A = this chain, B = another copy of it.
Amino acid sequence: MPTPTLAEVARHAGVTPATVSNVLRGRGRVGAVTRERVLDAIAALGYRPHLPARALAEGRAPTIALMVTSIANPFYPEFALAVENALRPAGQFLIICNTAGDPDTGRAYLDQIAGTLSEGVLVMNANLDFDDLRATELRGAPVVLCMWERPLDPPGLPCVAVDFRLAGELAAQHLIGLGHRRIGAIVGSKAHGIHAARHEGFVAAMQAAGLDAGAAPLIYAPDTTQGGYAAAREMLTRRPDLTAIFATNDLPALGAMQAAADLGLEVPRRLSVVGITDIQLARESRPALTSVAVPTVEAAELAVALLRELIEDGGRAAGEAKMCVTSAPHLVVRASTSRAPD
C-alpha cells in the first residue's frame, strides 16, 4: 500500500491530523502517551511525509538549485558534492541545472523552479544574465553567486568571493621565485572575461619583480584541457625560449603539460607549469600539477549558509548584496614546477 497519509496515521492512532503533525514537528505540546501512540502508528504504517504537500502548506520549497554550465566539467562535481553535504543536515535536496552556457536555458530553469520547487539558487559560472538573477531575487527566491572572482569589486548580488587575484599573484611569485623570467600566460576565456582577476594578479607579480609583463606571451583560450593544449602548443612553438607557463585554471594547465610532452619538452626540467584551483586531477596527473588551491568546500559551505540566511530573512535584505570572502588561496607545490634552467 503506497505510503499512508497523515490522516490515516491519525485515524490509526485515534487522534486528529493536527496532533500527528504536532508530534512530527515537535510543536504544540502533546501528552506523552498520545505521542507514543502516534509514534507507534507512524512506525506501524511506515508513514513518510509528502514533501510537496508540506512545501505547499509551509510556503517553502524542499530544494536548492545549483546552476552550472555542465556538471561534466571536472571542477563542478567537487563543488556540488560539498553543497549537497551542506544541504542535507537541513533536509534539503540539490537540483542540478546544466545550462550549457546558454542564458536562455538558464532563464528557463530560473522561471520554472526558482521560488516554486527551489527555495533558492546557487550560481556557479553558468553564463547567466544578471538581470534574470535579479528578477529571480525580486520574485522572492534568493540567489548567491558561489565564486565571485574579485572581492574588491562586488557584483551587486549576494556572493561568496574568492581572492583569485591573489591566486594569480601566488602562482606568478612561485615561478619568479624559482628563477623563471620568460613566462607565458594562458588565460581562460576572452579578455575581461571571467579570469581577468587571476591574470591581473599574475601581471602585478611580474611587475613587482621588475619583469615586463607586457612582453610575456599571452593567449586567451577556452577553459578546457584542449584549450590549454592548443594554446600551449602554439605558444611554445613560437617561443621555444619560455621556461614556464602560467594558466588561470587547472584544466588548461594540464593541457599545457600534455602539449609540452608532445613537443618533447620535459616538465618540470625544461618547462614549469602552474595552474589555479587545485582540482582532484591536479593531484593525479603526472607529473602532479603545482596549483594554487582554492577553498572549494569552504566556499560551498559559505554559499549555502548565506543562501539560508537570505531565505530566513524573507527578502527584507533584498538588494543588500552581502558578500562573504573565503579564506585565502594557497600554493600547493607539486612536481610540475622547478628551478628555471640556466
- Chain A residues at the B interface, C-beta cutoff of 8 Å: 2-3, 46, 48-53, 55-56, 61-63, 70-74, 76-78, 80-81, 84-85, 91, 93-98, 111-113, 115-117, 138-140, 225, 254-255, 257-258, 261-262, 280-281, 284, 286, 315
Contacts and interface: CB of A to CB of B under 8 A. Distances in A.
A124 to B, nearest CB: 13
Nearest to A84: B98
27 contacts: A2-B115, A2-B315, A3-B140, A48-B112, A49-B116, A51-B112, A51-B113, A52-B53, A52-B61, A63-B95, A71-B71, A71-B77, A71-B84, A72-B77, A72-B78, A77-B77, A84-B97, A84-B98, A85-B98, A91-B112, A94-B95, A94-B96, A95-B95, A257-B286, A258-B286, A261-B286, A262-B286
Contact of A139 (B3, B77, B113): B3
A93 B95 contact: yes
A74 B71 contact: no
A228 B29 CA distance: 57
B63 A71 contact: no
User: Taking each of A61, A73, A95, which has the highest tally of chain B beta carbons within 10 Å of its own beta carbon?
Assistant: A95
Given A48-B116, A76-B77, 4 more contacts: A50-B116, A51-B52, A52-B62, A95-B95
Contacts of A56: 50, 52-53, 56
Contact of A51 (B72, B98, B117): B117
Given A96-B94, A113-B51, A258-B284, A71 B80 contact: yes
Given A81-B71, A261-B286, A117 B93 contact: yes
Contacts of A112: 48, 51, 91
Contact of A81 (B51, B98, B116): B98
A81 B91 contact: no
